[in-house]
Amino acid sequence: MADKIAGKGLNVGSLVAPVWGGTVGDSAMGTDEQQQKFLLAIEKACRIAQQLNQHGVRKYGLIRVDSAEFGVAKWRENPKANTARIVDTFKKAAQIAADHGERLAAEGEICWAGMHSWKAMLDTLEGVGMPKHFGFQADLAHTYLYLMGYNEPEAALLKEGYTAEQFWPAYREMVSKLRPWTYDFHVAQNDGTVHGTGSHEKTGRHCQADDVNGKLDIAACAKVWLEGAAGRGMQHICWDGCMFPNATLENPKTWNTILSAMVKVKKAL
């Protein structure tokens, strides 16, 4: 795999740990047995990262995680205890990453317990308290739903029908809380809906970069997140748009549009 990637003149950056039940891992909020599965997923991801590093195709990036506890209903039964359990799992995972010379980052999707709002995510990050080895992966599409407080209305910074004058102060407030923890970044677009695809339901729709219903000025929003990025060790950005049919992904126009959006982000910095 590494040879094929290198043969295209490409590098590997950030990886995704298989933390979900049904893959290697299981809920970070679960039993001791489930926690051990989660940690095994981190160990496997770190070993693969080491192999890619030794090959030379990977020179930077981190390993992406989430709590692997889908939905917030169970979390709400005992928020304090459940967040503490997630924090405990993440701390152990971060230590594994540290032992391998890696960093972990939790991708802020509203569908994952303990990460379902900007406030819950910040509580979890601060609870882990290992900024050198555990941080945040900001996705433009997912974090838009943080603003709206979809899974935690009391944390909403905007209401439907907001104006541009209301948007930017709210956006900067949210980003200012999470940016110090942000070590990886997904350029993306969102139309304001939460219907995902498959197991990504209720998480924030990834739209194509030129979607007429897109809510975000991609370059302007990215600029806010990426302020001081180099100082946090960021050497690359990603496009995240996993919720498209194969026919869309196989169309060169899709990728030309994405690359155009990413070039605009680069020029905006």
Q: Are strands 63-65 and 104-107 parallel, antiparallel or unpaired?
A: parallel
Residues 6+ apart with CB under 8 A from 76: none
What's residue 236's pLDDT? 93
Pairwise CA distance, residues 163 & 166, whole Å? 5
Q: What is the pLDDT of residue 242?
A: 67
The phi and psi torsions of 134 (rounded to 5 degrees) equal -140, 120
N-to-C CA span, the chain = 33
- Other beta carbons within 10 Å of 30: 21
pLDDT in tens, 112-162: 999 999 999 999 999 999 999 999 999 999 999 999 999 999 999 999 999
Cα separation, 234 vs 138, whole angstroms:
12
Element (H, E) at 124: helix 118-128
| pTM across the whole model | 0.95
164 class by beta-carbon count within 10 Å (0-12 exposed, 13-18 middle, 19+ buried): exposed
Domain ranges within the chain, ordered by starting residue: 2-268
Tokens of 47: 């070993």
Q: What are phi and psi of 206, to 5 degrees?
A: -85, 120
Three-state secondary-structure class, residue 139: strand
Q: How far apart are CA 28 and CA 89, in angstroms?
A: 6
Angle CA(103)–CA(132)–CA(238) in degrees, nearest 5? Answer: 45
Q: What's residue 102's pLDDT?
A: 98
Sheet holding 238-239, edge to edge: 15-16, 63-65, 104-107, 134-139, 182-187, 238-239
Phi-psi sector, 192: left (phi>0), alpha (psi -120 to 50), beta: left
Q: What is the predicted pLDDT for the residue at 10? A: 96
Give the right CATH number for 2-268 from 3.40.50.150, 3.40.50.20, 3.20.20.150, 3.30.830.10. Answer: 3.20.20.150
pLDDT digits (tens, 9 = 90+) for 22-48: 999 999 999 999 999 999 999 999 999
Tell me which residues of the chain have a pLDDT lower than 70.
196-201, 242
Is residue 112 within 8 Å of 67, Cβ to Cβ?
yes
Confidence (pLDDT) at 244: 82
pLDDT score at 193: 85
Token look-up 């039964």 returns 77
CB-side neighbour CA atoms (13 Å) of 7: 4
Per-residue confidence (pLDDT) for residue 199, from 0 to 100: 62
